[in-house]
Amino acid sequence: MATVAPHNGLGSDTFAPLMEIWTALKKNPKRLIEWYAERRDRIGKDTKEEVYESVRASYNKRSNGPDFLFLSRACYGGIVRFRKADGYMSTPCGVHTPISVKGFTRRVEEWRERLKNVDFALLDYKQAFLESKSGDLVYCDPPYSDSQSILYGAQEFSLTDLFSAIDKAQSRGVKVALSIDGQKKSGNHKVDLNVPPNLFKQEIFVNCGRSMLRRFQLGGQTLENEVVSDRLLLTYKSI
């Protein structure tokens, strides 16, 4: 969305802490920076690991945007994992140093400029599709069907229902782009999605580098055989 920088856009998700962050970017970016600074500035008084554990405990007591913002910048490999049973955020602290407040501020300023014409809503994708009109472009980034059932809420997600919503939208003249599982194991495993025939006009594979999830699982090995490619499916022909 930041790359497209639409003149009239809507970003939506059903995960409330995430939408709390985006809404703050839109309406009160200074507050967003303060959320991050308050937590990031604790490092030095306490160790990075101690700060992380404290913020994670606060988040798991009551999920919220300010805590989630810091955790997403400080967790291992940026991989946010939730326990299936109760949504407990389980990712450990990353080996890296979280971005500085100054660096984070620069990013907030740039993202706010790029998304100045975008509104954000806590909204199910099916409702967002219903609001789309002929000539609109809808980009979908659902959980990966092959590997992300561990994500909070992904257990109930139905790719078949998404395909149905895409079909109805494209029949109204809405253009849809969908990023989803592609190839794993450096091309030796292509994920079968059972995509309805003729729904998409173009399939593109995008090299995403070596799997961060496998790096997390396999203790930082070099993983030459774990290159991942995402699949980009388009209901239209790109130029």
At 153 the pLDDT is 53
Up-side HSE of residue 79: CA atoms within 13 Å toward CB?
A: 18
At 156 the pLDDT is 73
At 131 the pLDDT is 93
At 18 the pLDDT is 96
At 211 the pLDDT is 53
Backbone φ and ψ of 56, nearest 5°:
-65, -40
β-strands 227-234, 175-184: how paired? Answer: antiparallel
Structural domains for the chain: 9-114 (1.10.1020.10), 124-234 (no CATH)
At 220 the pLDDT is 55
Q: Are 19 and 121 in contact (CB under 8 A)?
A: yes
Query: What does the radius of gyration of the chain's CA atoms come to, in whole angstroms?
Result: 19
Q: Are 10 and 119 in contact (CB under 8 A)?
A: yes
- Give the SS3 label for residue 171: helix
At 128 the pLDDT is 95
At 186 the pLDDT is 46
Per residue of the chain (239 residues), give pLDDT as tens.
Answer: 999 999 999 999 999 999 999 999 999 999 999 999 999 999 999 999 999 999 999 999 999 999 999 999 999 988 888 887 788 999 999 999 999 999 999 999 999 999 999 999 999 999 999 999 999 999 999 887 765 555 555 567 888 999 999 999 999 999 999 998 877 654 455 677 888 999 999 999 888 865 555 455 545 555 455 577 888 999 999 86
Check residue 72 and give left, alpha or beta (phi > 0: left; psi -120 to 50: alpha). Answer: alpha
